[in-house]
Structure 1
Amino acid sequence: MKINKFFALGGVVGPILFIVMTSYFGSIRLGYNHMHQFISELGATGTANAQLMNFAGFIPSGILIAVFGISLLMVLKKQKYAAIGSASIIFFGLGILVDGFFSCDAGCPEAGSMENMIHNAVAPIAFLAAIVGTGLLGFSFKRTPAFYSLWKYSIFTCFISFVSLLALLASLESRMFTGLWQRLLLLSIFLWCGIVGLRIFKLGNNKKP
Structure 2
Amino acid sequence: MNPGRFGIFSGIAAPVIWLSLIGLAGAMRPEFSHSYQYISELGERGSITEIPMRYIGFGFAGLLYVCFALAVPATLREGWRSALLAMLIGLDGIGRIGAGVFACDPGCDGLSSSQELHRLFAMTGFSAAILATLVCGVVFRRHAWLGILSAYSIGSGLLATTLLLLMTWEANPIQTPGLFEHWATGVLSIWTLVLALRLRRTPVATDE
Same structural fold, with TM-score higher than 0.5 when normalized by the shorter chain: yes
Q: For residue 169 of structure 1, report the CA deviation from its aligned partner.
A: 1.5
Read off the aligned partner of 2:25 and give its amino acid letter.
Answer: F
Q: Deviations over 1:52-106 (max 9, x none)?
A: 2211211111111122122223334544344223211110111111111100000
Question: Distance between the aligned counterparts of 2:195 and 2:113, measured in 1?
Answer: 36
Give the gaps of 5 or more residues in structure 1.
none
Q: Which is further off, 1-10 or 116-125? A: 1-10
Counterpart CA distance in 1 for 2:86 and 2:151 is: 17
Cα distance, 1:78–1:206 mapped onto 2, change above 3 Å: closer
Q: CA offset at residue 125 of structure 1? A: 2.0
Cα gap change, 1:207 to 1:80, in 2 (>3 Å): closer
Tell me the CA shift for residue 8 of structure 1.
1.1
* Pair 127,6 (structure 1): closer, same or farther in 2 beyond 3 Å: same
Report the alpha carbon displacement of residue 161 of structure 1 after superposing the two structures with TM: 0.9
- Residue 195 in 1 paired to residue 194 in 2? yes
- Per the normalisation by structure 2, the TM-score is 0.90
The aligned counterpart of 2:135 is 136
Give the number of equivalent residue pairs.
207
Cα deviation, residue 192, structure 1:
0.8
Alignment of 1:41-120 (within 5 A): 41-76=41-76, 78-109=78-109, 111-120=110-119
1:140-173 CA deviation, whole Å, 9 max, x = no partner?
2213112111111111111111111111111599
CA drift at 1:135: 0.2
Corresponding residue number in structure 1 for 2:34: 34
TM-score (norm 1): 0.90
- Deviation per CA, 1:104-143, whole angstroms, max 9, x where unpaired? 000111x411111100112112211111111011112213
Name the structure 1 match of 2:16: 16
RMSD over equivalenced CA pairs, Å: 2.2
Cα distance, 1:11 vs. partner?
1.9
Q: Cα–Cα, structure 1 residues 12 and 153, in superposed 2: closer, same or farther, change >3 Å? A: same
SS at match of 2:130: helix
Choose 129-138 or 166-175, whichever is displaced more.
166-175
